[in-house]
Amino acid sequence: MRRYTPDGTIIPQRNRNPNPSRWFRRLSLLVLLLISISAVGFLYWGFNPSEAGSTAMEALESDDAVNVLQDRWIHFQPAGKDHRIGLILYPGGHVDARAYAPLARAISEKGFLVVIVPMPLNLAVFGSEKADQVIIAYPEIESWVIGGHSLGGVMAARFAARRSEVLQGLVLWASYPGANDDLRESGLKVVSIYGTRDGLTTRADVQASQQRLPADTTWVEIDGGNHAQFGQYGAQAGDLEPLISVESQHTQIIDATLALLSMLMDD
């Protein structure tokens, strides 16, 4: 209905049906803004992982027993020893790769090459195939074992399931293979090491993985060990308080890992 002023002029009517394309553009810009903010937040989180502790940083120094090289990977090369067995380690999710230096160094001191592989955004899910590059870089190594902590172990198991022909073993630190990674017929030597005080990779998680691992898998339970003490980076949200020292837990992890590597040396 038209409306008029007292002098008979028509009063313009307001458009009660705004242009839908205008509102769509505004909504699209809002969505893009939210996506951009989320992406920046994720990148900031990814580039700021749990930091390696002072003991881990000290383990990165070369000496007469181990030569440590840091480039795209962290290499621990036993000095003066003819090493023919190598261990590739994938770090846990959102953890500085250097946090595993104390364990890698102790293993290397026994005559094994150990290579820790830093991951894009500190998440192994973005670099599960990186072990291939390490293997190519060390043609002199006769036997390869891959391993990892937490998410790193899940991705190491994925690599092992897809590329078992280039490996001889798998080491799981507080980890297990994913639901689609069946290693029962892989022919690999496997050790699964876990803590009873782990609040992130629980004993139930580990037990459930038995159906995806070889029947002769070695199971090593660390009484009182938790999740974060598989590295050296401090406490972790969601984890339980350990009942043993980090030194004690590391010793048990190292011994169980060396037991598997030594089996390959005897073959």
Q: What pLDDT digit, counting tens, does each position of 35-71 carry?
A: 655 555 544 445 576 799 999 999 999 999 999 999 9
9 three-class SS: coil
Q: Which of 5-14, 205-214, 237-246 has the lowest mean pLDDT?
A: 5-14
Location of structure tokens 């996506």: 35
- pLDDT average, residue stretch 88-117: 97
How far is the C-alpha of 193 from the C-alpha of 176, rounded, in Å?
A: 10
How far is the C-alpha of 115 from the C-alpha of 220, rounded, in Å?
A: 23
Two tokens at 140?
A: 């002199």
The answer to whether 90 and 117 have CB atoms below 8 angstroms apart is yes
How far is the C-alpha of 12 from the C-alpha of 141, rounded, in Å?
A: 85
Backbone torsions φ then ψ of 243, nearest 5 degrees = -110, 0
Closest CA to 160 of 101, 252, 90: 90
82 three-class SS: coil
Closest CA to 160 of 139, 140, 135: 135
**Predicted confidence (pLDDT) at residue 195 exceeds the cutoff of 60:** yes
**Predicted confidence (pLDDT) at residue 156 exceeds the cutoff of 60:** yes
181 three-class SS: coil
Closest CA to 163 of 181, 175, 151, 176: 181
How far is the C-alpha of 78 from the C-alpha of 21, rounded, in Å?
A: 67
Q: In this predicted model, what pLDDT tens digit does every residue of 125-150 receive, in sequence order?
A: 999 999 999 999 999 999 999 999 99
Closest CA to 231 of 94, 135, 124, 42: 94
Closest CA to 59 of 102, 116, 95: 102
**Predicted confidence (pLDDT) at residue 113 exceeds the cutoff of 90:** yes
The answer to whether 222 and 240 have CB atoms below 8 angstroms apart is no
Q: Give 67's strand partners.
A: 77
pTM value is 0.85
How far is the C-alpha of 107 from the C-alpha of 254, rounded, in Å?
A: 6
Q: Which residues of 182-213 are buried (b: 16+ CB within 10 A; e: fewer)?
A: ebeebebbbbbbbbbbbebbbeeebeebeebb
